[in-house]
Amino acid sequence: IIVISITLLSLYSFASDATVTATGAISVGDLNTNTFSCYIFIGVMSAIYLIEESSKKLVKCLFWFVLFVFFVVQINSASRRGFLILLFCIITYIHSLIFLKNKNNIIYKILTISTILIGLVIIIDNLESLMGDTVLWQRFFHNQTKGDQLRKLYQGVAFSLFSQNPVFGNGFGCVQSTIGMYSHSLYFELLACCGLLGTILILFPIMRRCIRFWKLSNNNQFEIRDRMQQRILSIWCIAMLM
């Protein structure tokens, strides 16, 4: 249901009445591009999980095609964070395929690593010609938007509030009540609102699950499909914290 919903959402972003922001980024309806990017992230991780869930090659190919659609849409949305997290998820998943699922298949490992290296050389050599005109490329290397400057301001205020009460923080919504806007950062917001104590209490369960999933993925007592799914869940937790 998640993959179908977000695939439809992604396909709608190619429609003529899709939302185009002032910077040229593409979204859907009134969704902020970063919010739209978060939906794409959930779709990516769900599709990757289902690739390992299915035993049918046709279904796996369908999900890989869906991932390609998500990749294109993520570029069009021009969310820098979203794009970097997408790359992280795909690279770590491919790493798991090579060194966890097929670690005993030497030929597979050699062919896969060789193919990836050749692909990377080709992509890097043509990166600017491929992406130089995209809004995402401009946001990474050329355009410092007003939003970037405002984020620095918001996070500066959040850190100042944290400095006033570093242990317990100043309560939920303290940044919003001070400047009329939240800090646009999970970590600055937690520190300002909850202090070090609250930040640890909120983030520790996620980190604990991340470590637990990773350890289970390395447990040879489980079937390889279960181990891969545990690894995917661990990657998901890491990406959330990113």
> Computed from CA positions of residues 49, 54, 57, 62, in that sequence, does the dihedral angle turn out positive or negative?
negative
> How does pLDDT run across 112-167, given as a tens digit for each residue?
788 888 877 887 777 777 677 778 877 777 666 677 788 889 999 999 999 999 99
Quote the pTM value: 0.82
Cα–Cα nearest to 48, from 234, 242, 240, 232: 232
**Mean of per-residue pLDDT scores for the chain:** 89
Maximum C-alpha span of the chain: 60
Give the length of the chain: 242
Q: Which of 137-141, 212-216, 223-227 has the highest mean pLDDT?
A: 212-216
pLDDT at 143: 65
What single-letter amino acid sits at 130? L
> How does pLDDT run across 91-112, given as a tens digit for each residue?
899 888 888 887 777 887 788 7
Please state, in angstroms and rounded to a whole number, the distance separating the CA atoms of residues 14 and 138: 20
Cβ-contact 27, 36 below 8 angstroms: yes
